[in-house]
A and B are shown apart, each in its own frame.
Chain A
Amino acid sequence: SQQGEEDPQALSIQEGENATMNCSYKTSINNLQWYRQNSGRGLVHLILIRSNEREKHSGRLRVTLDTSKKSSSLLITASRAADTASYFCATKSDNTDKLIFGTGTRLQVFP
Chain B
Amino acid sequence: KAGVTQTPRYLIKTRGQQVTLSCSPISGHRSVSWYQQTPGQGLQFLFEYFSETQRNKGNFPGRFSGRQFSNSRSEMNVSTLELGDSALYLCASSRLAGDNEQFFGPGTRLTVL
Contact = CB atoms under 8 A, between A and B. Distances in A.
A42 B56 contact: no
Interface in A3-57: 3, 31, 33, 35, 40-45, 48
Interface residues of B, number: 25
Nearest to A6: B42
Given A97-B55, A98-B48, A45 B42 contact: no
Given A42-B106, A98-B48, A103 B42 contact: yes
A90 B44 CA distance: 11
Question: Contact residue range for chain A?
Answer: 20 to 34
Nearest to A45: B101
Contacts of B98: 97
Interface string B88-113: 10101000011011111111010000
B48 A42 contact: no
B47 to A, nearest CB: 9
A78 interface: no
Interface of B: 4, 33, 35, 42-45, 48, 55-56, 58, 88, 90, 92, 97-98, 100-107, 109
